[in-house]
Structure 1
């Protein structure tokens, strides 16, 4: 027999043994692992001694039964079984072939040669044969995966349990009388587990030699007695237990106060335990609540706890006693739950003591800008709470400086205060909408106001204002107020004028510094847009210069004036700031850009001008449509509404005009900005065509909605074109800057000569004059201001940063 065949037969026989042993004894193995896991986790400690002994006997019989059942099912494999398994795994069954005899043709020489060749081929296959592995898959025998459950439990008990306690099964299996006879003597174990949030380790009292212990309040004490019950006992004054069984073999209690812990009996011990009291958390307000930009509320606070704060809340309730009860607030308010918002806690780091800020936006809440009481509450891991006294304040929220926007917000507040104000709010809105063209600047605001008013009046006619409709109206009125406050203007000059008005209103009303800062930022942005638009106006447009003396002013001078206004506001000198604002407004009315501050006309200016004209015409048409709709509602015989056909023809004419604007090259074609502009114009054209169709059908309300969509799309197109032109101008300026640097390589960006040795600048004092220090300070401030302007060329910004680092 070839050696390879011998090894293959032995390996296959071993695989058969493993296969049949696994199938016969897997129930016994699984049960044994489960019993070991239970003992490792100390399951016997939770049963009375008698029940533990009964359970141990039952488990032992179950293990014995599983073992006997496995032995009965086991069928030992023999070498013939291994040969058959190996032969079945080989192609052609070579082992059976080698034992066969030629049945026919034994007298034919050719047939004999074929038979011999066949046996030789089968013999060759056995030269490199390998053993066949046993089939250890037990899924069809253990359909519920009990063996995996047992193995997992046993592994976990090895990692987190007490594996050495597995030997206790032999003790539990003994009957009580015999256990007392063979017991070596009474013994005890005790350990203390402090609460997890304290971070302290467990304490094994058998190994503690100290007579005094300091343990956190809430620590869990576990005591176990072994041997005859009644020999040992535990006495303690820590938990406040009432009439405990001191001789119980298993005792658990929590430390609630200081006292004495005694284990009496053979090998007993005594400890004086000092309970470390877990103090409740503390929280306090730091300063008063501030109104941040955008109307956000910011309240600084500090919280602390001996083991760390785990949760916190902010409770805000209406201070009805200090609320002015006039106008819409004169009626009793509807019941409303107090505001409860989670207090921010550090995500990482210690929470033992920390300072943070609570920032939330309550602008849309009915109590915004009204007297409230605020209380902060924190909680520790033990469930103890600490809180501040209710602090009276005005709940910060967004403020509206546009008179119409402020009026809409006040009506919204009255509706949310009580639905009894619904009829009064409807009457006020009816009065405001009597001449809407005088009350609202834009058609979109008129449309939204009319829809909101009609919804309110319709709900009153239907029998009353329900809660869902009231909330819908509140959201509509908020959106309308934001639209009125921020405006829907696309022209830079109008945005600038609007920003000035809002800032003047804020200064006169004594707005918060954060609100003034917001409005100053808005004014600066509107100023930059307007100056850029003015600088991009080409002289070829043929505009006549203004009569009389013209004012030339640079953008830097405008920025210096704005900086001075900001400085006066920061110092609280509002009257002087208001005077400078008035001078700025007068200056801008006669503004002409200084020579050199402008630039050549950019490609696509004509398209923007045409789009602006189309937008103004669309606004006029929307106004006429709205007036015609109002006339239809009033049914006034003295008024002559515009013909629907005339309005529809004008609308189609504007659609054709917009289509022609898309034919010439638009600014930034091929760029994301240019593609956005083209998409916006196509959207506006579709809206115009839908509006014309609605006008032909006499649906003026639907036409107004489509006209509003068209105007919004055209504004998006104007913004996208402006972005494209700005990008083109920036790229052109960078190219010109590079050309100037190449042509004037002997001077630095400040116009100073470069030294031949490669050192920048000169030793000569450039600040000639008497007040050298003041001029130096002004120059440093100018460097800082220019370095903050991100639209400057990168080479210049880099040089400015290096100058600031040096000086």
Structure 2
């Protein structure tokens, strides 16, 4: 056999040897694996010295005995077995490899026999080079029918996973019995964490041995006060203790080798954990105190256009604000003679722009006109609270609490007596007499039975001697509602409901309420907004019927807003809430609240008065347009006569035998066309034709007609300019102006025939523009709207707005009436992108194939936003 065949024969022999050796060694390996698992589990040292020593001796004896017995009986493979293994692994039959050792027996000197023998040997050697050794197959599965080797392998994997960190120490303890038995000393291992308070938003901190050197500042670790230290010690001797600046705190013993400690950190600069007199770990720390919030007025308290108290603040806190309130107390030193009744302090809750913000700036609106202190000096103090109850206060601001001014004479009289109940509570009888005097004149309040019954009820309560001082508050509330009923009907009640739902929605956004609750509050806000606008419309109609003039106002300071603007804002707020941008939704809610507060009572009446003035201007412009139309008709008649005269002169020259030019040849044909167009022009008013006939003797020249046409064009341009300042310009007027320009150019070129079509077109466009303008005025009068706003409600159109106002009609610069702020309203693309991100997070949260830590992170994101 060749060199390659000899190597393969030896490998085949080794395969046969391993197939015999491994089943013989398997019992000994199983005993060694069991001992290794027990050692890594650290079970043997817990048995005690004698049991431990006996177990070691037992394992050793069994291991040596099984190994000696099985190896002594181990058979070695026969020399020919390797060739048979090669033939079997290579798929050869009839044992061809044995022929390599044979020799030619009969007549070796025969040339023919020698050649055949040599060819046979060559074929066998070629076959030997393609032999396969194959893999060994000990057949252990036939011996281990119970699958104990798989169980032993699983136990070893678990043991290695548990005991790998200190495998060397565990193996050493397993082979060295000790008289200490189960209390064999284990090297101590310390794990320590610091969990900051949840309101700080900081992640837990794992304390390592090299924590001080890894600190970015190179100094002590910064730990928020109130953080909890969790430490666990495994192994070692004795009970561990935590040492904070020399003060010791012992660990709790869970079992003989495990100890645990949980402690809240509020002070200290040095932390150390000791056991049996040895320091396991130590750290230099800095306990960062939680500072109290800082709050101040962002602007002076002011009164909104609807007499609400506007309080704007700015506040900061190191970890987050929890609550912002305002306390209002009466300034007694400025009113020593007043004997006020009721509570001593008014507590108001102010909105926050987000959930637990570290920096906040917001404004709150509170209607306190119904409070007995309205119109009196009070002191306002702001208070900010954090999560642990620390508070910060602002300086006191002394203001006069906003008071509502009533225009109805009976309402003013009722409010005057209501004030006396506040400052003169002992004059109940005199006040009741004044109210009776008011009730006795029903013609002053239009015989309103509601007002009469309310006054009678208040009088009866004040005169009843069994009613104590507490009845004054009930009487004041009744008188206030009566005055509001007289003043503006249901506007105040609708306004109060609107403010209440706005406050509830702000609180829900601040505390990160559920989507269902936010949707319900948005629906309530939309309904309250509709009721408020409808009540204001009814108030406008009632004031118009009664002839009550609204208060004077400054048009430049008036908010310009309609239902479509409000609906658009609420739709954007809904989309922001669905996409998770709740902070921006809250900012837009505050902006809308500011806009509503700046709407003055009776604004619709002011707009109606302004609309009446605008209507008069439009009527005057309509008259000017009609005058322009009449003058254009007269010019058309004069131009037609000029063309007829030029045609007549051309015919006379032709009859006298003069050679007509190219233009003369076309004259009769063109004159016929112009006569047809002139007939359309003569379909105008009869007054223009009569005036034209009266001017036949003084015929107009083409140059004079061009000058008149240019004057009419300039007059139309001036009229269009004034119409553009007040509203929209009918597009027909622009076309008429262009036709007038063409007519003027034709007349200047001494071609009245070319001017007639342009003049006819200008006349038709002027009449169409006047008709459209009349239709717009009619629609405006039927709808009772302000002129100039008709185009704003049509789809795809918006009325012209001044360049110094934003799309809602508010001044771009902050004029003090309302905060412009820096609210960035997201574009449609931003909202769509936010919705896609939100949906992707929800999809990944439900994907069970993702790691648990990633899904937990996504769930925290979804809860936060």
Superposition TM-score, scaled by structure 1 size:
0.41
Normalization by structure 2: what TM-score? 0.39
**Higher gyration radius (CA):** 2
